[in-house]
Amino acid sequence: MRRKTILIVDDEPRLVRLVKVNLLASGYEVATAADGKTAINLLESSNYDLLILDIMLPGPFNGFEACKRIREFSDIPIIMLTGRTREQDRIRGFDAGADDYLTKPFSVEELLRRVKAVLRRTQPSEDYLNCPAYSFGDLVINFAQKRVYLRGREVRLTATEYQILYQLGSHAGKVITHEDLLTRVWGSEYRNELHYLRNYISSLRKKIEDDPGNPKYILGKHGIGYQLATEL
């Protein structure tokens, strides 16, 4: 089996060395870049399985801007690193297209856990092929192709956003509890990370709802969970 290749983008040499050594020891191939422009060029010319991207970068593109530009041509899973703890920074990262968010300082164990979880979410599954397409109003989810359409136009989603829609769409009309949805998408170790789910649901609603504040597709059951609407 081919070893997964991870691109680390950070301008702190000590942190890069720490992350690189531990990823190599865990069986991953590793490449590095010190700024957003270099990272974009590398991603355009080479194949990587995961991007670890710092927010505070030198040069013309900070992490948010680099993430947005990468999302114009790549669906690579992205874990963003930041020294900021503000909720709006986390939401801004998700809106830019990040799949996960890790606040500095972090433990090596936590980073490796996030890497493993994000890569797991991007693995293809035969379940997609056996699930009928979801269609309601202007929204269509083609599970076989792993594509989402709104009014006939494809909606670009991150791997995590798609996983959430897949879980909701394959159980359309049924409420999936917060804990169950977190476990299915992120893994059992994330079952209490409700802020993760709320941030991603907010990001998804911005992409598929005409009025995110008054959703008609992704419906919430206060204190319980979420469901994808049906005509029933």
Q: CA-CA distances (angstroms) from residue 216 to 45, 138, 193?
A: 40, 11, 25
0.85 cut: is pTM over it? no
User: Identity (one letter) of the amino acid at 147?
Assistant: R
CA distance 23 to 196: 24
| φ/ψ of residue 38, rounded to 5 | -65, -40
Phi, psi angles (nearest 5°) of residue 28 = -95, 155
CATH of region 5-121, choose from 2.30.29.30, 3.10.20.30, 3.40.50.2300, 3.40.50.720: 3.40.50.2300
The domain limits of the chain are: 5-121, 127-228
Q: CA triplet 205, 141, 96: central angle to 5 degrees?
A: 40
54 close to 106: Cβ distance less than 8 angstroms: no
Second-level CATH architecture of 127-228 = Orthogonal Bundle (1.10)
Give the alpha-carbon dihedral of 122, 125, 130, 131, to 10 degrees: -30
First to last CA, the chain: 45
Do 5-121 and 127-228 share a fold?
no
Helix (H, G, I), strand (E, B) or coil at 31: strand
Over its length of 232 residues, how does the chain's per-residue pLDDT go in tens digits?
Answer: 678 999 999 999 999 999 999 999 999 999 999 999 999 999 999 999 999 999 999 989 999 999 999 998 998 999 999 876 667 777 788 888 888 888 888 899 999 988 998 888 777 555 555 667 889 999 999 988 888 999 999 998 888 888 899 999 989 999 999 999 999 888 887 888 888 899 889 989 999 999 999 999 999 999 999 999 986 4
